Amino acid sequence: MRAKPEPMQVIKERRDGALLRLVKAVPYIGFMGISFDRRGDELTATMAYSDMLIGNPAVPAIHGGATAAFLETAAIIELAWADIWAKIEMERLSGAEIAALPIPTFPKTIDFTTDYLSVGHPRDVYARARINRSGRRYASVHVEAWQDNRSKLVAQATGHFLMPSKDG
Amino acid sequence: MTHSSKNMAQHFATALPHCKALSMRMDLLEDARAVMSMPYDARLIGDPATGVIHGGAVSALMDSCGGASVFMHPENAGASVTLDLRIDYMRPAKPEERISAESHCFHVTRNVAFVRVTAWAGEMKDEPVATATGAFSFKHKTKGRA
């Protein structure tokens, strides 16, 4: 007999719990005001505007370093999320079981190239990351950031990452 | 390099809100060169297991330092913005250590400035935490726009 589908609330609690656990583990994500929205397994990162993100107060524009940091964060969380997704979905972990998991080891950035395409205005920035290659040791991720129009990018970036070893 | 451009570049670290948020400091300004640094801060931790600072905070320091070195180029005639910046991470920055970056704007054309940046933790300048290469927009003093 087929297993009964899980109630939606149980699924959401598991997925949102696992995502929040990743994000809350990193102090810098909180410092930068970065949060993540989830639709199924798709993530959208938001860097909420605050005055301390400004680089050039004369324009004013968001600091290029802050934009790069935001894109790198979106890439790392995307990789860690893809990794944990398989585990929590396969094992159908409960909210309590997820809370008891050890803090995940994050992928390490090998290199990260940011391409600045337009001025970052003083408002929220959004980003989505796409994993183009994910092997046992190395991953390649592309990230795009925008503000008002999804098609008018503020910046894009490509990075390579060293994945945490699975066998300790 | 004019006295006023040096004066303006000195204020990079304190006048730019994001640099101020990371407590950056301008340590050296010369022709086409800059050294900037920032203290270790637990709020910037990117790897909770080791306490190592997030690469993003190092990016912000290297980008700022790169911009300062472009600003200090003798042929510079205006404000620059980053066109692209590639960062290679060599090793984790040792926790509790101050992070420094040194940038050299080694070539300029009419419209573009090229920089190389090195970042290190504490006094370990010969064992860089990260290196970067970048291109910035540039206004040349004498060549004019192509």
Task: Kindly report the CATH number assigned to the domain that includes residue B67.
Answer: 3.10.129.10
**DSSP assigned state of A103:** P
Residue A168 has pLDDT above 60, yes or no: no
Angle, alpha carbons A76-B39-A34 (nearest 5°): 30
A102 in any annotated domain:
yes
Whether residues A55 and B42 touch (CB distance < 8 A) is answered with no
Residue A83, both tokens: 């990794």
What number is the ipTM of this complex?
Answer: 0.93
What is the SS3 assignment for B129? coil
Q: What percent of chain A has pLDDT over 70?
A: 98
Task: Kindly report the CATH number assigned to the domain that includes residue A137.
Answer: 3.10.129.10
A19 in any annotated domain:
yes
Q: What percent of chain B has pLDDT over 70?
A: 95
Residue A9 CB contacts under 8 Å (≥ 6 apart), including other chains: none
Contact A101, A83 (CB under 8 A): no
Q: How many domains does chain B have?
A: 1
Q: How many domains does chain A have?
A: 1
Q: For residue A51, report the phi and psi dihedrals to the nearest 5 degrees.
A: -60, -30
For chain B, say whether A132 makes contact (Cβ under 8 Å). Answer: no
CB-CB neighbors (< 8 A) of B18 in chain A: 52-55, 62-63, 65-66
Where are the alpha helices (H) located in A25-151, listed in sequence order?
27-31, 64-90, 95-99
pLDDT grade for B28, boundaries at 50, 70 and 90: very high
Q: What is the pTM of this model?
A: 0.94
pLDDT grade for A86, boundaries at 50, 70 and 90: confident
A1 in any annotated domain:
no
Which range marks the domain in which residue A115 is found? 8-162
Whether residues A65 and B86 touch (CB distance < 8 A) is answered with no
A128 in any annotated domain:
yes
Residue B118 has pLDDT above 90, yes or no: yes
B105 in any annotated domain:
yes
In this structure, the number of other CB atoms found within 10 A of the CB of residue B45 comes to: 22
Q: List the single residue in B with minimal CA-CA distance to A59.
A: B79
For chain B, say whether A147 makes contact (Cβ under 8 Å). Answer: no
Q: Among residues A86, A88, A79, A81, which one has the least CA distance to residue A11?
A: A88
A105 in any annotated domain:
yes
Instruction: Please report where in the chains the tokens 């790198």 appear, as a residue.
Output: A72
Residue by residue, DSSP assigns B32-79 as TEEEEEE---GGGEEETTTTEEPHHHHHHHHHHHHHHHHHTSTTB-S-
B144 in any annotated domain:
no
Whether residues B59 and A112 touch (CB distance < 8 A) is answered with yes
A54 in any annotated domain:
yes
Between positions 6 and 35 of B, the ones with CB within 8 A of A are: 15-21
pLDDT of residue B55: 94
A3 in any annotated domain:
no
For chain A, say whether B60 makes contact (Cβ under 8 Å). Answer: yes
B81 in any annotated domain:
yes
Which range marks the domain in which residue B129 is found? 3-137
